[in-house]
């Protein structure tokens, strides 16, 4: 692992930087615990479906990314979707064509062609009832797939409200000073830009808006959501969604020393100019800030391994070393019941093992006890027969 680019650090800051730059090394107990607790926290937040995000949903510029990104908030559209700028408080500069799938196919295509040519943005108020942003994507792709550039499109009901748009298509252009030009129909921005600021009325066929306001739809659906049921389901299904690590059982006792060292790729200097670490130097974080906790890794579905973990933990506690118990697997059907039962047996903090710990300590078999000893870290594999 490399250190930061050449910078002057104090010895104290250097030690802190070294300790925070590695994933799972000596002295990183706090980091470990924060990550473990975060990963083991069921998501109880009131999360609404992706399509019900209040932020504008970006539907392009790269339509092929839409299916991957879903209804993610977009701070701005890409360059070919038009330049939208927040110029001052309350003023948004840009060009928009407000549309709806209430428009005939040829009208929607004409609006998309105008958006592509003028680098403006197609704006939808929401999605049709019972659908999501994917439905808009599917309808737009055959219309715009051969256009160069592909026009930008967003779902943003706030723009409909800001400009009081009630019919489509509606063209709106706002400059940096907040001066706005509006026309209903599709006269084109080449014509609209030459007009005086103001409302230039209807300049072509217009249609009603099919899609409901997404924000109003959010509020309506949230009122009918059973949050208590969602909370119960989140708790009940939490462990079923967790990955299990199928590490083999240790066949014999074995101690392995893990090299926690990192190598500097740059010279690092003290503020007074003295060289602290030269490029290529190896630093052992365990020697700077020794590991405090003992980590005991075991398979909670194995009674033998649970018993070994308990015994190893008791031994560490007698040496006045705090113990963290990490399980690789749990009975997913019994979930929290099994978790609580295992916690009562080991009588200590119990967390789910993660890939970072496996990688950093090169865990190969279970149960394993990870412990700092002097200037090095030992991973001790314990055979199940040691219990008897």
DSSP 133-180: HHHHHHHHHHHHTT-SSPPEEEE-HHHHHHTT--SBSEEEEE-TT--E
b/e per residue 222-244 (b: at least 16 CB within 10 A): eeeeeeeeeeeeeeeebbeeeeb
The 10s digit of each residue's pLDDT in 28-39 is: 455 556 666 666
Per the model's pLDDT, the better-predicted residue between 137 and 11 turns out to be: 137
CA 196 – CA 199 distance, rounded (Å): 9
pLDDT at 29: 55
The 10s digit of each residue's pLDDT in 220-247 is: 767 666 666 766 666 667 777 777 888 9
Percentage of the chain beyond pLDDT 70 is 71
* Lowest-pLDDT range of 183-187, 261-265, 372-376: 261-265
The pLDDT-based confidence of 54 (bands split at 50, 70, 90) is very low
Beta-bridge partner residues of 95 = 173
* Lowest-pLDDT range of 66-80, 211-225, 315-329: 66-80
Percentage of the chain beyond pLDDT 90 is 35
pLDDT at 78: 34
User: Mean pLDDT of all residues in the chain?
Assistant: 76
pTM: 0.47
* Lowest-pLDDT range of 18-22, 97-101, 149-153, 249-253: 18-22
CA 284 – CA 290 distance, rounded (Å): 10
User: How far apart, in Å, do the first and last CA atoms of the chain sit?
Assistant: 42
Q: Which residue has the tokens 């680098």?
A: 119
Q: Are 4 and 17 in contact (CB under 8 A)?
A: yes
pLDDT at 234: 62
pLDDT at 89: 44
Per the model's pLDDT, the better-predicted residue between 267 and 160 turns out to be: 160
pLDDT at 270: 78
The 10s digit of each residue's pLDDT in 171-226 is: 999 988 889 999 999 999 999 999 999 999 999 999 999 998 887 777 776 766 66
The answer to whether residue 15 scores a pLDDT higher than 80 is no
pLDDT at 283: 78
The answer to whether residue 57 scores a pLDDT higher than 60 is no
Mean pLDDT, to the nearest integer, of 31-51?
A: 54
Per the model's pLDDT, the better-predicted residue between 69 and 19 turns out to be: 69
């Amino acid at each position: 692992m490399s250190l930061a680019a050449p910078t002057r650090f104090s010895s104290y800051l250097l030690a802190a930087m070294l300790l925070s730059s590695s994933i799972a090394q000596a002295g990183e107990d706090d980091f470990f615990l924060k990550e473990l607790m975060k990963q083991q926290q069921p998501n109880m937040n009131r999360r609404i479906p992706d399509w019900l995000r209040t932020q504008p949903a970006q539907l392009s510029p790269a339509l092929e990314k839409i299916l991957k990104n879903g209804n993610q908030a977009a701070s701005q559209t890409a360059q070919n979707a038009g330049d939208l700028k927040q110029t001052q408080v309350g003023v948004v500069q840009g060009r928009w064509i407000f549309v709806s799938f209430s428009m005939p196919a040829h009208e929607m295509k004409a609006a998309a062609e105008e958006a592509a040519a003028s680098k403006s943005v197609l704006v939808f108020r929401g999605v049709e009832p019972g659908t999501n942003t994917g439905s808009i994507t599917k309808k737009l792709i055959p219309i715009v797939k051969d256009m160069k550039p592909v026009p930008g499109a967003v779902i943003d009901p706030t723009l409909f409200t800001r400009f009081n748009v009630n019919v489509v298509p509606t063209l709106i252009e706002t400059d940096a000073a907040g001066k706005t030009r509006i026309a209903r129909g599709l006269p084109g921005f080449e014509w609209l830009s030459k007009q005086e600021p103001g409302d230039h009325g209807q300049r072509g066929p217009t249609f009603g808006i099919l899609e409901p306001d997404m924000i109003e739809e959010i509020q309506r659906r949230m009122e009918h959501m059973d949050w208590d049921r969602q909370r119960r389901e989140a708790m009940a299904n939490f462990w079923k969604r967790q990955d299990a690590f199928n590490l083999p059982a240790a066949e014999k006792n074995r101690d392995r020393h893990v090299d926690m060292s990192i190598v500097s790729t740059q010279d690092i200097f003290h503020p007074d100019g003295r060289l602290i670490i030269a490029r290529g130097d190896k630093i052992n974080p365990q020697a700077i800030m020794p590991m405090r906790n003992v980590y005991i890794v075991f398979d909670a579905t194995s009674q033998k391994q649970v018993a070994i973990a308990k015994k190893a933990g008791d031994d560490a506690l007698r040496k006045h070393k705090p113990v963290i118990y990490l399980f690789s697997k749990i009975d997913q059907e019994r979930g929290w019941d099994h978790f609580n039962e295992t916690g009562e047996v080991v009588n200590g903090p119990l967390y789910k093992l993660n890939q970072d710990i496996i990688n950093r300590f090169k865990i190969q078999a279970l149960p394993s006890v990870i412990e700092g000893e002097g200037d090095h870290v030992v991973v001790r594999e314990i055979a199940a027969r040691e219990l008897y």
